[in-house]
Amino acid sequence: MRSFAHLLRHFGLPRASVAADAVAPYVLEKHRPVSMPPATDPGIAARPIEEVLGEHQDLIDRIKVCYGVDRPTFAVELLPLIRNYAACVHLLPATPDNYFPTPGGLLRLGLEVGFFSLQGTDGHIFSGRATISTRRHLEPRWRQATFLAGLCSELYRTLSHVAVTNDQGEAWQPYLLPLSAWLARLHAERYHLKWLPHAPDCRAQGLFILPHVVPNAVLQHLASGNTVIVPHMLASIAGVPVYPEHNILDDLVRRAAALVIDRDLRASGERRGQPQVGAHWERHLVDALRQLVRTHPAWRPNTDKSRLWYGRDGVFLVWPNAAADLRTLLASKTLAGIPKESDTMLGILLAAGVLVAQHDGQALWQIHPPGGKPGLDAVRLSAPALLFAGIDPAPEPLAVTLARATPTASAGDRTAAPPCHATEQLPLPMDAAPNVPAPAATSPVAEENATACAASPARPPGGPIQLALEILRFRLDAPMRLNPVVRDALAEIVDAMNRDEPGAGICMEEAGLFIALAEFTKRQLEPTLALRALTDAGMLAQPDGTTATVARDIDGKPTRGLLLAFRFVKGFHTGHAAPTANDVGTPAC
């Protein structure tokens, strides 16, 4: 088989070994260090690898017991690979604010997923069609490959999600050498992280850094006497399916990763007092969608009672019917922490860019399949290739447009109704128009809205309108892609405006609603998490166009906070706004 060095040369990338001095001089001359502005945060200490691994010795001992070999054999077969992985990721966190976000999180995540993946091999038979003697020969290789796939399952994050610099602003180039080797070469004492916004999840990138962890000699050992172990291991690390065989190794890794991440999120939720939704579910949901398209008869496109419709305007999934099929399939895989609510699945897929909402932010579309079928609530995929890639022949779209040009709101709380603003002024009795029977509403929500609007009749042309009553009711109107934890805290903050004393840290301005960062802390939510989620959802009003936070003078004290754009607060208009500056020029509430 071809080595990884050959694969890297094919893509124009030199192979880097683990040792710092093994990087060829011409590589360092050709790829000069990339510089960034020096960081101001304290950074992470460049500790020795043995010291880094010492914090996880208990888990390494459990891995040895599960691997089922004596200490000398373990020191030859697995321990060097664990040391290589630790040298590659050092003390990097796995994510900035989701699972395993603390220094050393990526190392701990890899070790735990590798351990539980290895543990899962005890109940499965690999190469089931082979003879007993062949299976006995291959079983140790399958176990080693399964552990490596779990260990390196999140390795791609070092390439795509974070940039690492030293105190002088020189950036680590992860394709060339491991992080610990780079730190040793520069004699760096600390390093700093910059998380890259909107980084795509391309798990296949991990294959190009895999040589830092798995030498070619180990790959050759795994490939000895078979043609399936290495392809299945690489497919699992890259996040791609293997056809036509079922990848049991990947099933074990996915199950282990879901378990480990769910446990960490639960523990983090208990510490913060708020549950968290794992960002890792995007991958499982998309893979489940692809599997349903390939295997489920109700997911054949454009057939009677199908969950899937493909027209000139894109691919649509009938919702929440599709969510029920997703939930059933994920439950059959016994994955820990499965999202059970269709709205939760919808929020995850919207946040990941798998689904697209309408221009007004509404997640559901109204589609009308051909043949006079009634309108259906559906969600729209961002690209047909998300589901149809690799299918031969690929489905053909209908020659019709499925969604209406002017979409109709969905059922339930999304049902369309005549516009009625809670803050609209009501006329005095002598100015009121005669009561006219309203047309029948099409849903309970529409009836409720129509009843509310009946209290504010149309103004007679040119007639004077006097203020009789003003009903104030503020409500959060956030897009579905907003983090559910942030959504709950923000809804509580907005609802506080309906009380007589909402709090000193909440006030209306012309640009929007000012919320002090301390308001999120009161609700056991990290302000940095709220800022990141609101920025990603495009919900902040930024007067200067760049800064996410603003300063306000509250009770004579400068207070940092954020401005929630007014379009996300129902019931708000500029008449509610407080002055935006005091006599000394400092913005005030």
Nearest residue to 249 (alpha-carbon basis) of 389, 171, 143, 394: 143
Query: Residue 486 pLDDT more than 90?
Result: no
What fold characterizes domain 35-272? Answer: Hypothetical protein af1432 (1.10.3210)
Portion of the chain with pLDDT greater than 70, in percent: 72
Distance CA 33, CA 194 (A): 16
Q: Please answer whether residues 105 and 92 qualify as being in contact, where contact means their C-beta atoms are separated by less than 8 angstroms.
A: yes
**Integer-rounded Cα radius of gyration of the chain:** 29
516: number of Cβ within 10 Å: 22
Residue 30: pLDDT band by 50, 70, 90 thresholds? Answer: very low
Enter the tokens of residue 301: 């496109």
* Tens-place pLDDT, residues 240-270: 888 777 888 998 998 898 889 888 887 776 5
Beta carbons of 536 and 198 less than 8 angstroms apart: yes
Q: Is the pLDDT of residue 325 over 60?
A: yes
For residue 212, pLDDT over 90 is answered with yes
Share of the chain above pLDDT 90, in %: 26
Q: How far apart are CA 136 and CA 65, in angstroms?
A: 20
Residue with tokens 């794992």: 278
The predicted-structure confidence for 66-82, as pLDDT tens digits, reads as follows: 999 999 999 999 999 99
| Whole-number Å distance between alpha carbons of 312 and 182 | 51
Q: 0.75 exceeded by the pTM?
A: no
| Angle between helix 132-151 and 216-223 (nearest 10) | 150
Asked if residues 516 and 551 have their Cβ atoms less than 8 Å apart, the reply is no
User: How far is residue 494's CA from residue 476's CA, in Å, rounded to a whole number?
Assistant: 6
pLDDT, mean over the chain: 76
> Cβ(536)–Cβ(484) under 8 Å?
no
> What is the torsion angle, in degrees rounded to the nearest 10, for the CA atoms of residue 203, residue 205, residue 207 and residue 212?
-120
The confidence score (pLDDT) of residue 53 equals 95
Does 410 have pLDDT greater than 90? Answer: no
> Which positions ≥6 away from 406 have C-beta within 8 Å?
none
Q: Which of 41-45, 141-145, 251-255, 322-326 comes out lowest in average pLDDT?
A: 41-45
Residue 24's pLDDT is: 43
| Mean of pLDDT values over 142-170 | 92
pLDDT digits (tens, 9 = 90+) for 352-371: 788 888 888 888 898 888 87
DSSP string, 111-148: HHHHHHHHHHGGG--SSTTS-HHHHHHHHHHHHHHHHH
pLDDT digits (tens, 9 = 90+) for 340-350: 788 888 888 88
